Amino acid sequence: MEVILKEDVNKLGHRGDVVKVADGYGRNYLLPGKLAIEATAANKAVIEQMKGSAIRKSAKEKTAAQELATQMDAIELVFERKVGEHDHLFGSVTSGDIAHALEQQGYTIDRRKISLEEPLKSLGEFHVPVKLHREVTTHVKVTVKGDEPAAETSAA
CATH number for the domain that contains residue 121: 3.10.430.100
For the entire predicted model, the pTM comes to 0.62
| Tens digits of residue pLDDT in 53-105 | 778 888 888 888 888 888 888 888 888 888 887 777 888 888 889 999 989 98
Separation between Cα atoms, residue 97 and residue 72, nearest integer Å: 16
Sheet containing strand 2-5, strands side by side: 18-20, 2-5, 36-38
Answer whether residue 67 is part of any domain: no
Domains in the chain, number? 2
In a shared domain, residues 93 and 38: no
Answer whether residue 66 is part of any domain: no
Question: Which ranges in 8-130 belong to alpha helices (H)?
Answer: 23-25, 41-72, 95-104
Which residues, 6+ apart, have CB-to-CB distance to 61 below 8 Å? 133
What residues make up the domain containing 143? 73-155
Domain of residue 53, CATH code: 3.40.5.10
Single out the residue of 99, 88, 100, 97 nearest to residue 119, CA to CA: 97
